[in-house]
Structure 1
C-alpha cells in the first residue's frame, strides 16, 4: 500500500501531543534516574582526571627530554613510542610497525586522514548553518552568572553603620561608666538636657573621684570642676531665657512663639499646610479667636481640647479662606467646619418674612442619610443656643414633611446630593442667598456617583459673590468685606483621599484654597490595632467569629462588616444564636429602620451591628471596641473607613479582618497600610503572599463597592441615596 500522508501527519501529531503532556515519574524512578546521572557524572569526572594525568606525564617527558638534549619528534622523545591518537590510530592495524617503515604507505594514510577531516569539517559547517537558520543562533544553555555571588560581592564592600558591642572600649568596672546617662545631649537648661540634675550628679561624682585619687591637689581640682559646671549652667540658663529655646511651646505665651516653636507644634499634631498666607494653628480654644458666646457653648458641649484638624482648620476658615481638609476618619472634622460657619452667618442679617424663602445662608452636603442626620444633631448643639435653625433634607421622608420644616426658613441646611437636586428641580428650594458651602466626605460622594448632582448644586449657587481667582483670594481683609449686600462665597471641602474627580471639582469651584493635611492621607489612625487572618469559607469564618465574640475580650458595641446585603441577615442570625443582641444596617432598609438600628446600638440596647459599607463612612457610634471585617472591603479606601469606626476621639480599638483568595486585588495595599502602622503587626503569610508583592493593574475606572449600587432608598443607587 502507498504511504498515506494524512495518516503519517496524524501519527506525528499524536506523538507530539503525547510527548508534550507532562509525565508523572514515581519517586523510585526519579531516584534511579538521579543515581544514574550521578554515576555518569562521576565516570566523566574520572575520565577527565585520567586524561589530565596522562597529558601531564607527556608534558613532563617532553620537558625532561629537552633538558637532557635529546631530539623531540611531535612532542615525544626519540626512542619513546607515542600512543596512537587521531584519525591515524583509527586506520592502523595490528601491523602498524611495517607502515612506519614504509614511507609511501604512511603518506597515503596521511592524505586519507586529511581528506576525511576536510569532509567532516564541511559537514559540520553545513549543519551549524542549518541550525542557525531554523533554530536561531546557539546560546549558552547555562549561565555562569550567580546573583547570589554578585550580591555577596556588593554587600561586602558596603560600610556597616551598626554599632558592634565588641568595639566598646569602656571598662565595665569603671565607676565613671557605671551610671552613664543614655541621653547626654538634647536641649538647653530646664528641659532635661545638658545641665540638668543628672548632669550635676555626674559632675559631682567626677569631682569626688578626682579628689580621692589626687591627694595633694584633688580638692582644688574638684572645686574648679564644680565652679566651671555652675558657671556654664548659669550662662546656658541666661541664653535660654533670652532666646526662648529652653522651654517647650506649651510653657510659652502666644507672643513668645517663634518659627521653630510652630514647626515643633505642627510636628507634634501631624499638621501639614499648603498655600499662601496661612495663619498659625490654635493651641487651645482660648486662642482660637471664636466669640466668647460660642466658646461657652463649646465648653458646655464638652470639647476640652481641640483635635488636630480643628487646630489647623478653624483659624484658616475664620479668615474667609477656601479650604480643603484632608484628614483621617474620626478626627473631629464636623466641629472644624461648623464653628467657623456659625461665626460667618452671625455677621449676616437675621432671617425675616422678607428673606426666609430665599434659601439658607449655609449648605452642608454629605453622601449618606446617616451622616447627614449625624451632622444635623451636632450642628443643633451649637446653632440652637445662638438662635439659628438647622434642617436636614434626606430620602426616606416625604417631601411634604421637609417643605413643612422649611416653612419658617433655615440658616443651615444639611442634605444628601440626590434629594437636594430633586428639591431644586421641583422649585421647593432656592439658593439665592447661600454663600457658605461645605462638602463633607467629598471622595465618598464621587464614589457613589454624585459627581453630576454636586456640580448641579454648585452651579445653582449665586455667582455675584464669587471670589476672584487671584492673589486677592488669599487676603483675609479683602475677603471679609461685603460684595454689595452679600459677603464673598466661602467653599470648604473635607475628604479622606483626593482622587482625580475630587481635584477636578476643587479646581473648578474653590479659589486659591488652603490645604490642610492631618497625618498621612488615606492611612488608618495609629489608635487602631489591625489584625488579619487568612480564613476561607463561610463556615470557618462563622466559627472564628464565634470564638472572637465568645472570648469576652471586647466590650460592646461591636461592628461586623460584610460586602453583600443578603449576608447581613445571615450573619446577624448566626450572631444572635450565639447569645448576642444584634441589628442590621444596609441599603434595603427603610429610613426609619436605619435610624432605629443606629439608635439601638448607640443606646446600648443592641450589642452588635452587622452592616455593609453604608456604615463605613462618617457614622459615629461611641466607644466601639472592635470592628470585624467578615468580608474584606473591595478597595483599601473603604477598608480604612471601616476600621475608622473604632479608635475614635483618641481612644484605642481593634480591627480584625478575614481574608481569602478573592481578596488578592487589595492585598498589596493592605500590606502597605499594615507596614506603616506603629501598633499593628504584619503577619508572615501576608508578607509572603504572591498577590502582596506588587500592585495589581486594574483596568477602567475600577470596581465600585456594594454601597454605591445599593445604598439608595427603594433599593436604587445614584440619586437614591437621598
Structure 2
C-alpha cells in the first residue's frame, strides 16, 4: 500500500493526540491493550504511543465485545476509540483471498454527513494499512458506480451515510447479513437530520446478534431513547461532562444589529488578520449571500451547504485546507466531521437553532489540545437561542459590544432594500436625490398622480374622448327632410322595425 498522504497524516495526528486539558495516565500505552503488531506498527509510524482518555477507556471495553455509549468532547479521538478495537476484532477473519465472498461486510459505521464519513474513512484506512482488511466509504452526491465496484470486490469495513447505504441495499450491491459490529457516530445529529426511519430500516437488516457502539459529543434524551431500543446492557463512557465545551477554546459573544452582521464578520476577519476561519450560517441562502459579501470586501471566501454538489464541497474543503480559501462559510452540514489541523477560529454568524450544535461548531477549533477562538454574533431576536446555549453548557456568557466596529451609513438601508431594484432605476438614485421630507411627501404623491414625472405611471387615454362634440350627418338621414335656409329640419320617419333589425315584407 502506498504511503499515507501528508494531509491525511496531519488529520490522523489531530485525531490521535491527547488533549492536555484532560488528565491522562502517561503509563498507559497502546501496546498495553493487546493490539495486533500490524495496528501498533501503523500507530508507531505516526509516533502515537499514549491514548487519549476516551480511547483509554473505550478500547478495552469494545475489545470485550460489550455495547458502548461513549460521550466525549469533540476533537478528543472518538474515531480511534472505536475503529482501533474494531480492526483488532476483525483480524481473526482477515485473509488475502481474491474472492469477494471471503470479504463480507463485518463492520458498519454510520455517520450523518458526507464530510464526516469521508473523515472517518481516512482514519480507518490509515489504521489498517498494514492489515489485509479492506474498507471503503459510500455517500450520496457522487457517482455510485465506483462505490458499487468497490463493494462487489469485497469489503469488511463500510463507512456510510444512511441514504446511500440503503440505495446500495436496494440495488443488491451490499449485503449486511454477516455484519457483526454496528457503529453510530454522531447519532444525535442523524436524528436532527431526520434519519430515524432510515436507521430503523438499517437496524432491521442486521443480524440480531451483534455488537453496537454509539459515540458522540452530546447525548440528548431522544438519543437515549434510541439507544434503549437496540443497545444491550451498554457501558456508558464519559470522559468529560456531557454537552461541555473545551476549556482551551475562548468563547466570545458580540451583540450587533441584525442588518450589520455581515459587515461585522468582515471587520473581525480584518482586525484579527484571520487567514483560516469557518463561519457558520443557519441557512443555505444565508451562507451563499455572506460568502458573496466577503468576496466583495476583498476576502477570499467560499460557501458549502446542501445545495452544493459533493464534488464542489470536497473541492472547497481541500482548497480551504491548502490555504487557498481564507474563509469557509458553512451550514451545519459541515459542523461535524471537519478535522482541520490548527484551525484558529470559528465564527457563528447565526446562533444555531439547536443548542447542541453550538458544541459541535466550536469544536472545529481547539482540537488536540490547541487553543482556539469561538466568536458568536447575536441580535436582539437571538436572546432566546443564547439562553438555551447557556443552559445546556452551564456557562454564562458576557455580552460584549464589538469595539471599534462602525457600520457603513447606508448598509442597513441597503440590506433592507436589496430586493427593491426599481428605486435604483427610476432616476432618483442616479441623481443622488434622497427621500423627500415628510412635509413634502403628501404633496409629492398628489402631484405625481396627475403630472408626468419619472416616478408616475401614465394612464392610457383615448384621444377620441378629448375631441369636441360634432353633429353627425349620418347617411341614414333623409335629405328631402332638410328645410331651406331659415327653416326647421323635420325628423325623418324611420319605421320601428328598421331600428330592431328588419322590415316587414311588402
Q: TM-score higher than 0.5 here?
A: yes
Decide whether the 8 Å contact of 1:585 with 1:610 is kept in 2: yes
- Aligned pair partner of 2:314 in 595, 611, 631: 595
2:254–2:400 contact (8 Å) kept in structure 1 = no
Out of 494, 511, 515, the residue aligned to residue 215 of structure 2 is 494
Would you tell me which structure has more helix in proportion to its own residues? 1
**Structure 2: gaps (5+ residues):** 1-19, 402-506
- Residues 358 and 432 of structure 1 are in contact (CA less than 8 Å); yes or no, is this contact kept in structure 2? no
Structure ID, larger Rg: 1
Task: Show the counterpart of 2:229.
Answer: 508
Name stretches of at least 5 consecutive residues in structure 1 with no aligned partner: 1-266, 272-279, 467-488, 686-722
Tell me the equivalent position of 1:572: 291
Q: Please give the alpha-carbon distance, in whole angstroms, between the structure 2 residues aligned to 1:368 and 1:451.
A: 14
- Specify the alignment match of 1:174 in structure 2: none
Kindly report which structure 2 residues correspond to 1:392-471, keeping only aligned pairs within 5 A, or say none: 392-463=137-208, 466=209
Distance in 2 of aligned mates of 1:282 and 1:515:
24
Check 1:285–1:384 CA distance in 2 against 1; reply closer, same or farther (3 A cut).
closer
d(CA) in 2 for partners of 1:379, 1:404: 20
Q: Aligned partners of 1:586 and 1:531: how far apart in 2?
A: 25
**Bigger relative CO (Cα 8 Å, ≥ 6 apart):** 2
Q: Secondary structure of 1:384's match?
A: coil
Q: Report the count of equivalent residues.
A: 382
In structure 2, C-alpha distance between the alignment counterparts of 1:433 and 1:349, rounded to whole Å: 14
For normalisation by structure 2, the TM-score amounts to 0.71
The residue that corresponds to 2:362 in the other structure is 643
Find the aligned partners of 1:349 and 1:299 in 2 and give their Cα distance: 21
Matched, 1:563 2:308: no
RMSD between aligned residues? 2.4
Q: Distance in 2 between matches of 1:298 and 1:582?
A: 36
Contact 1:557 1:623 in 2 (8 A): no
Give the 3 Å change call, closer, same or farther, for CA 320–400 of structure 1 in structure 2.
same
Aligned CA distance change for structure 1 residues 514 and 674 (closer, same or farther; 3 Å): closer
Cα gap change, 1:462 to 1:345, in 2 (>3 Å) = same
Separation of aligned partners in 2, 1:291 and 1:349: 12
In 2, are the aligned partners of 1:527 and 1:653 still within 8 Å (CA)?
A: yes
Partner of 2:261: 541
The answer as to whether partners of 1:356 and 1:410 remain within 8 angstroms in 2 is no
Are residues 424 and 675 of structure 1, via their aligned partners in 2, closer, same or farther at CA, if it must alter by over 3 Å? closer
Query: Given the superposition, is the C-alpha separation of residues 281 and 452 from structure 1 closer, same or farther in structure 2, using an over 3 Å criterion?
Result: farther
Tell me which residue corresponds to 1:531.
252
Per the alignment, residue 166 of structure 1 pairs with none
Q: Aligned partners of 2:159, 2:135: CA distance in 1, in Å?
A: 7
Q: Which SS does the other structure have where 1:516 is aligned?
A: strand
2:398 corresponds to 1:682: yes
Q: How big is the shift at 1:575?
A: 1.7
Deviations 1:38-62 (A, max 9, x none): xxxxxxxxxxxxxxxxxxxxxxxxx
Residues 675 and 682 of structure 1 are in contact (CA less than 8 Å); yes or no, is this contact kept in structure 2? no
Q: 2:243 pairs with 522, 542, 549, which one?
A: 522
Within a 5 Å distance, the mapping from 1:114-193 to structure 2 comes to: none
Deviations 1:106-143 (A, max 9, x none): xxxxxxxxxxxxxxxxxxxxxxxxxxxxxxxxxxxxxx
Distance change >3 Å, CA 577–CA 303, structure 1 → 2? farther
Residue 358 of structure 1: how far off its partner (Å): 7.3
- TM-score normalised by the chain length of structure 1: 0.50
Residues 294 and 382 of structure 1 are in contact (CA less than 8 Å); yes or no, is this contact kept in structure 2?
Answer: yes
SS at match of 1:325: strand
